[in-house]
Structure 1
């Protein structure tokens, strides 16, 4: 082929990559596509491609698969592990099975660890290994987490992951490695800009591959595992059953202020997707602040139950379709609508409004400091004496936060979300830091502490 047939499709929010492979005859292979196919559709349309094959490396826990939708819209053949127990039409593959893509060949490699039924897909041009789609097996400078099937299986799967990586590293050094999980994924990818790599590069740089034996590998992998969003415990089963196929783009109906207030009164949830500063200046009491950005889906799924009825408050220029697709790709479909006219309409209706202090470090009080970042971020540098409560686990610990505390993360978005969680739990007088620990420490003459406080 006289051009690069591989088109990576990166979801910055979930930290994942899907792939579209131009097969050179108007057809394409899609690998690990999510239910939100907007980027994939645009890439396929640019090249005039029909997706003939949709392969999933494993039963994804962090997004709903788009394979069924591609089967419906493009007539794609779904390729997946025969051991996955999927309840919909697909071609079940086992170790060594090959799929003729028309000039190229896809070979299934059993690589359990991240999940029981995990496959990697080796892309071959004749007998030459072009690259391997490794899903949640070998990823850039790490391997994906092995605790998603419960603590009783974690070590067993970590040992399976060790053997899978041993197998993959027997491929030629120049074989490209195309993982699904990358930086920003809660499936245990380390920070870094690189999304793809090669077998040879990983032999040189991956600290897990440098482990001298299996026991050391297991200790290193399990020691790297942090928390993960609650919806991870639900989506693998949803993908096994098969997500509902969307025959039309979902919409977000307009709601008037009275309807929104009734939803709140009836036990529904209101999510305010405006920037943190806008939420701070004035918001609906009891609403949850989750700014609409790349990470929106993660925090929506971590902080609200999937069966909740949800309405949204948006700001000027924000795209309702972005809200909908981010929600739908993690299985949140009970979307009641959005407030027509935004906060101006709420105020015009004479309904109550709250505000939250949002200040830079030089204006932040010297008081109890609550850090809601992830454990690894906190260990890398935090304000001395800070109370560390990760945002995803904050709600049941709200009583541990004193009234009048400073709530902080790295920039301000997660901290504003945390403040909205705490205010819903009855905490008062909170100040959200517009910035992070380094700026706060400098403003108050402090030196950041490092390490795990436990």
Structure 2
């Protein structure tokens, strides 16, 4: 069969900033590339197109999500395609550099592109002898390259040098070759901001500053300098993916728990995650609950701030989907989900449960005193309130003692700040208030101009 644009279906996870791909290979058979364990969108696409997934390819041992390849093998009998160098312990076809897979007319060629991980492969899709596109995973991404520090800081530079060679190899492909990366904007695997999730080799030669580096040393300096923090759970998932996630024989559920069950869970070392909007949490919540609003980034912050070894109960608000809580948790390996509070906070109050509140203030209502900014380093550097104390949300639990008493906690809008305030309250802080807004609003209300890391005004 010939390959046309509508034969490829991108499946974007906006929260993790990643893309999976479904390729219609003809004859009712499809190839899935870098599919996560949350296969709902992929299943919907196969139903729409009348496809069976015959092959499930992973470009690398993912750190930010559990692979759906094993599940696709169970559901469809798909052959799992992955690097032989990854030493996966479940049934798969191990590929080495240059190996090809016949997709029934189309061909998939493995290209060794280490850097993001040791065993990383890119997959070149060929229609006859024509290079249609390349699935680059965590190698070449739009206007950047994926991070090289996931195997430990002591190997960051070594892997950055491998990444340099891998990008040069990919850049040698024909200019019109489409680039289909896994990591995109919003990914903590080092994708820069932007809306484009695919590109071409030719476009990257013109716009990618890393490809424009005049030599290997410059490339390494630029790449390493771009590395920010990443979620704590990244350290666990590569090995989970090497072993293969457990097959799910039925959709996971989140049972309803009476208030007394939630109290018992807390007493026994479990934790409560309140997924309601920030304003609802502020108005009344279970003491000690962690506020993480159910949104696209929910999995990231769940995996960054809580262990996967304790049972979790959730407080869900009206109109929120408990199924979404489950899938976001499961795709990053959080399976000790005890359930959700039946009846929500009204039921908790009716059962005599203790309740706490948090001040949620506008910029005009916020006091002048200490301002705690919990955004990422790059956000803070781009513009912050003069005199602000900066502690990234991901680091806050370990440094709660450094937070000033009575601080106004702020991020860009208020959601991460409410999470931060819930962490501080759990650590014993009182008098914390959360800014409903961001630094620009606060600065304007208090007669300030934002500062940038270079010392200039914003």
TM-score, normalised by the number of residues in structure 1: 0.99
- What secondary structure does 1:361 align onto? coil
Take 2:454 and 2:350, find their aligned partners in 1: how far apart are those partners? 49
- Quote the residue 1:388 is aligned against: 390
User: What is the CA distance between 1:115 and its match in structure 2?
Assistant: 0.2
Secondary structure of residue in 1 paired with 2:339: strand
Aligned equivalent of 2:76: 74
Q: Which residue of 2 aligns with 1:312?
A: 314
Task: Look up the SS of the partner of 2:21 in the other structure.
Answer: strand
CA distance in 2, matches of 1:366, 1:239: 48
Structure 2 residue aligned with 1:45:
47
Q: Pick from 79, 94, 97: which aligns with 1:95? A: 97
Aligned match for 2:159, one of 135, 157, 160: 157
Query: Deviations 1:149-199 (Å, cap 9, x if unpaired)?
Result: 001111000000000000000000000000000000000000000000000
Give 1:27's aligned residue.
Answer: 29
Determine if the alignment matches structure 1 residue 344 to structure 2 residue 346.
Answer: yes
Distance (whole Å) between structure 1 residues aligned to residue 190 and residue 369 of structure 2: 34
In the alignment, the residues of structure 1 paired with residue 209 and residue 5 of structure 2 have an alpha-carbon distance, to the nearest angstrom, of: 34
Q: Tell me, yes or no, if structure 1 residue 176 matches structure 2 residue 178.
A: yes
Task: Tell me by how many angstroms 1:452 deviates.
Answer: 6.6
Structure 1: runs of 5 or more not aligned? none
Equivalent-residue separation in structure 2 for 1:402 and 1:338 (angstroms)? 33
| Structure-2 residue corresponding to 1:369 | 371
How far the C-alpha of 1:266 sits from its partner, in A, is 1.0
2:170, 2:31 → 1: CA distance? Answer: 22
Q: Which residue of 2 aligns with 1:273?
A: 275
Q: Which residue of 2 aligns with 1:397?
A: 399
1:334 match: 336
1:198 counterpart residue number: 200
Return 5+ residue gaps in structure 2 as ranges.
Answer: none
Deviations 1:79-120 (A, max 9, x none): 000000100000000000000001100000000000000000
Residues matched between the structures, number = 453
Deviation at 1:402, TM superposition (A): 1.8
Provide runs of 4+ in structure 1 moved above 6 Å: none
Partners of 1:77 and 1:44 in 2: how far apart?
Answer: 16
Q: Distance in 2 between matches of 1:403 and 1:309?
A: 31
SS of residue matched to 1:351: coil
State which of 243, 246, 249 in structure 2 corresponds to 1:247.
Answer: 249
Q: Is it true that 1:109 corresponds to 2:111 in the alignment?
A: yes
Which of 4, 7, 16 is the equivalent residue of 1:5?
Answer: 7
For the residues of structure 1 that align with 2:208 and 2:348, how far apart are their CA atoms?
53
Once the two structures are TM-superposed, the CA of residue 280 in structure 1 deviates from its matched residue by: 0.5
TM-score by length of 2: 0.98
The CA distance in 1 between the partners of 2:262 and 2:24, in whole Å, is 46
Name 1:423's counterpart in structure 2. 425
Instruction: Look up the match of 2:303.
Output: 301
Question: In 1, distance between residues paired with 2:374 and 2:45?
Answer: 37
